[in-house]
Amino acid sequence: MKIGELLKSEFSISFEFFPPKSQEGEEELFNTIKDLESLRPTFVSVTYGAGGSTRERTRRIVHKIHTETKLTVMAHLTCIAHSKEEILEILQDYKNIGVENILALRGDVPKGDFQAPKGACKHAVELVKLIRENFGGWFSIGVASYPERHPESPNMEWEIKYFKEKVLSGADFSITQMFFDNSYYYRFVEMCQRENINIPIIPGIMPITNFNQIKKFASMCGATIPQKLVEMLEPYTDNPKETAKRGVEFAIKQCEDLLDNGVPGLHFYTLNKSKATLLVYQAIKHKIPFRALSA
């Protein structure tokens, strides 16, 4: 099913996974998927490694979810390290197996002396255009959004301008980078509305279970960690159980505030684990709007 169509009629709950490197990791992932499938999410997504490094693993996990579960799956696709011919081959493969949803991303530029392949899509907007020009409406296309701006953006005005280009090129919805201060999300949505950008913008939520790991992620993507959250978690850096407990408590309050302010959905970055996400969901489910989900 196309995510863009589903979002027109229901509040969305979704989960993001990454393709494991080992058979043991894959088994753990599908145990997580089994746990979270009971929540009947609107969709799940599978990430794509920097420079296309997980191309085959992403494809295998997407195919397995698509054929062995009842879940609607979205494949992430980055373009910076692929030729257009390679991109079209990947997309045709997804179409052939019946996958209808793509998250179109530029992807991180590989480190070192990197040169994009000749004719490559160097920005996500070019990838969105390529998909629409070659596959029409077959794929529902999602794109990323950055409430605190992309690390390469000079300011929020530039960020909104570029985001609007992706929408005008054919994006159906957006998922935000993780954030921990909801005011950034509300400001971003208001700026989009002033520019007549009206696609669903789903907030990305990261329940914190490892503070050092999250600090690293946040520094890479430019997400602000509020001082109150630092003070809450820093004393327990060496206490994983207490960190997870407090991280989940923070995520619950964050989600409750977002729900009170009418967001179109919640997208959870699971890190291939289910416990924290399940705890957050159970705590907020009474606030979640009616979801017209199929059996």
Distance from C-alpha of 200 to C-alpha of 263, rounded to nearest angstrom: 9
Q: Which one of the listed residues 5, 10, 16, 100 is annotated catalytic?
A: 16
3-state secondary structure the chain: CCHHHHCCCCCEEEEEECCCCCHHHHHHHHHHHHHHHCCCCCEEEECCCHHHCCHHHHHHHHHHHHHHCCCCEEEEEECCCCCHHHHHHHHHHHHHHCCCEEEEECCCCCCCCCCCCCCCCCCHHHHHHHHHHHHCCCCEEEEEECCCCCCCCCCHHHHHHHHHHHHHCCCCEEEEEECCCHHHHHHHHHHHHHCCCCCCEEEEECCCCCHHHHHHHHHHHCCCCCHHHHHHHHHHCCCHHHHHHHHHHHHHHHHHHHHHCCCCEEEEECCCCCHHHHHHHHHHHHHCCCCCCCC
Distance from C-alpha of 3 to C-alpha of 102, rounded to nearest angstrom: 9
Is residue 16 annotated as a catalytic residue, yes or no? yes
- Which sequence positions are flagged as catalytic? 16
